[in-house]
Structure 1
Amino acid sequence: MSQKLKLGVPKGSLQDATIKLFAKSGWKIGLHHRNYFPDINDEDINCSMCRAQEMSAYVASGTLDVGLTGKDWILENDSDVVEVSSLVYSKVSNRPARWVLAVAGDSPYKRPEDLAGKKIATELVNVTKNYFKSQNIPVDVDFSWGATEAKVVEGLCDGIVEVTETGTTIKAHGLRIIAEVMQTNTRLIANKKAWEDPWKRKKIEKINLLLQGALKAEKMVGLKMNLPKDNLDSAMKILPSLNSPTVAELSDNKWISVEIMVDETVVRDLIPELKELGAEGIIEYPLNKVI
């Protein structure tokens, strides 16, 4: 019987972003209604869905060989896993999320120390306890099953530790952030025994390589153009690229074809400069993977 790699995909807020990232990397994950075992176009992989909060525990136990979850939940569960790589992506923005300490906007609390002896609600109980313990601040930490922001407003607690990317939801509930507890982002994690297995490790490394390539490509685009040969040196001074641009001769020896990969944020300034240098037929195109 051929080997199978047991892959865990996080269910919940990261689900769609994860499936999209895998699709760009070459693996199509097909969901079924109320089914936790989606199809995947790779006969060497069995795919399972589970909550990000539980993923590291399943990987540590060997129920799953590899999975994606946040650094926050690895620490929360104190899971003994191999952290293969960091993958910065989310449903909102490709930047790390933050677990923050927040209080009511009209409360007198300005610093974590002001909450000594008070009640804190959070889903991230162990990390929160360790945070306050490290600062020698005695607090009562209660587990929150959800709607954590509302508990401050309703007077059920004095402060909360909640995850946010932009802070918009925190502010929308009339809360004020007074400290950052930790930053977190998605990690590709592996079971230790699976990581020691040569076949599974090679498969995991292949997945990681292509996931990283797809993430890198999200921030970049390709540019291709025709350029007067005499202006190449001037163009080279303004062309940012991973390596030297690809330059090819054209049938008209006064012109050359130039192709580069650049950060998409510089394109709006770069194209007008290239036009000033006589570039023609400038094409911008998306990239699927950059390895």
Structure 2
Amino acid sequence: MPTKNKLRLGIPGRALRGQTIELLQKAGYSVSVSASGHKITLDDPEIECFFSKTQELAELTQAGMLDACITHKARLLEQNIKAKEISQLNYGNGTWHITRVVLSAPVDSKIKSVKDLNGQEVFSRLPNLTKKFLVDQGIKAKVTKVGFPGEAKGEMFNKPLVDFTNTGRTLAEHNMKIIAELMTTLPCLVMNPVSYQDAWKRQKTENLALLLNSARLAMDMVGLMMHVENGLMPEVLKVLPAMKKPTVTQLRGENLFDVLTVVDRKEARELVPQLKKIGCTNIVEFPLEKVII
């Protein structure tokens, strides 16, 4: 069983692996992956990491072999996993976009909607969720479990498929068209119920969630700093986002203010030219490490 002063943490492999490692690094951890790619180490002696598929991580966490893990919300529902959710994490399979669980069908098939699945065989990476979805839709169909990669199997065997997707691009490459969305799913940081009762492990996991979420939020935001003359302040404050009140400091002995604010990264490309046109000087845009709201 896990020792009291060490958190055994499951890290997802495959599609979630790259984003999870990058997010851990942005959260302040030094991450080392073995040459074989099967072992991951953090520079925190209180965290012991274990690489595996999200499906297996959920099972190991429920069984108490791991204190906590990062797995897909859809996996928890599919496997009816009993675990304590600490936080959802805002990224997806191989991208920073939210992942969807979708039903697709071969482009050249006669399947145009869910109702066309009556009497069909449906391939699925998530058979339990698929069966429930079909029952809720009043559809009688055979559901066959398939492994990764599902898109290739759907195309090869000319079968409708339920699988994960972010952009739908891979499905399109395999001549599959999306006909319905079952759910959206995000990675979740969860704990097994026994470890959750351990105050030290719970706090350690909650701290990890805070760092990961603040690092993820910082990726979408930037800081803006500028000098603004007193007479220009009303106009500057009017164009800055209302929900992100800036810090304004008057420079000693001058009719200038130092204005510091945080904005969405995409907003900055529109704001900076506006601020320059208004008359702001010494405008500096800088990246953020963590944003905690």
User: In which range does the TM-score fall when normalised by the shorter chain?
Assistant: over 0.9
Corresponding position of 1:67: 69
Q: Number of residues paired by the alignment?
A: 290
Corresponding position of 2:266: 265
String of CA shifts for 1:269-289, please: whole Å, max 9, x gaps. 111221122101111011110
Q: Could you state the TM-score of these two structures normalised by the residue count of structure 1? A: 0.94
Instruction: Tell me the distance in 1 between the aligned counterparts of 2:199 and 2:242.
Output: 36
SS of residue paired to 1:74:
helix
Corresponding position of 1:240: 241
* Contact 2:90–2:213 (8 Å) recurs in 1: no
**AA of the residue aligned to 1:79:** I
Unmatched runs of 5 consecutive residues or more in structure 1:
none
Note closer, same or farther for the CA distance 1:47–1:151 as it changes in structure 2 (3 Å cut). closer
Corresponding position of 2:141: 139
Corresponding position of 1:227: 228
Note closer, same or farther for the CA distance 1:207–1:74 as it changes in structure 2 (3 Å cut). same
Corresponding position of 2:286: 285
Instruction: Tell me the distance in 2 between the aligned counterparts of 1:257 and 1:96.
Output: 37
Note closer, same or farther for the CA distance 1:92–1:153 as it changes in structure 2 (3 Å cut). closer
**Once the 2 structures are TM-superposed, how far is the Cα of residue 120 of structure 1 from its aligned partner?**
0.8
Instruction: Tell me the distance in 2 between the aligned counterparts of 1:215 and 1:202.
Output: 20
- Give the % identical residues: 34
String of CA shifts for 1:108-140, please: whole Å, max 9, x gaps. 111112111111112211111111122221111
Instruction: Tell me the distance in 1 between the aligned counterparts of 2:154 and 2:54.
Output: 25
Note closer, same or farther for the CA distance 1:40–1:182 as it changes in structure 2 (3 Å cut). same
Corresponding position of 1:46: 48
Q: Could you state the TM-score of these two structures normalised by the residue count of structure 2? A: 0.94
For 1:210-225, what aligned pairs fall within 5 Å after superposition?
210-225=211-226
Note closer, same or farther for the CA distance 1:270–1:119 as it changes in structure 2 (3 Å cut). same
**Once the 2 structures are TM-superposed, how far is the Cα of residue 143 of structure 1 from its aligned partner?**
1.4
String of CA shifts for 1:132-177, please: whole Å, max 9, x gaps. 12222111111113342233433x3531112111111111111211
1:30 to 29, 32, 43: 32
SS of residue paired to 2:82:
coil
**Once the 2 structures are TM-superposed, how far is the Cα of residue 78 of structure 1 from its aligned partner?**
0.9
**Once the 2 structures are TM-superposed, how far is the Cα of residue 33 of structure 1 from its aligned partner?**
2.0
* Contact 2:6–2:46 (8 Å) recurs in 1: yes
My pick for the range that moved more, 78-87 or 24-33, is: 24-33
Instruction: Tell me the distance in 1 between the aligned counterparts of 2:15 and 2:155.
Output: 24
My pick for the range that moved more, 126-135 or 78-87, is: 126-135
* Contact 1:69–1:186 (8 Å) recurs in 2: yes
Instruction: Tell me the distance in 1 between the aligned counterparts of 2:130 and 2:154.
Output: 16
**Once the 2 structures are TM-superposed, how far is the Cα of residue 94 of structure 1 from its aligned partner?**
2.8
Corresponding position of 1:102: 104
String of CA shifts for 1:179-238, please: whole Å, max 9, x gaps. 112211111111111111111111111111111111111110000111112211221111
Corresponding position of 2:16: 14
Note closer, same or farther for the CA distance 1:2–1:78 as it changes in structure 2 (3 Å cut). closer
**Once the 2 structures are TM-superposed, how far is the Cα of residue 77 of structure 1 from its aligned partner?**
1.2
**Once the 2 structures are TM-superposed, how far is the Cα of residue 256 of structure 1 from its aligned partner?**
1.3
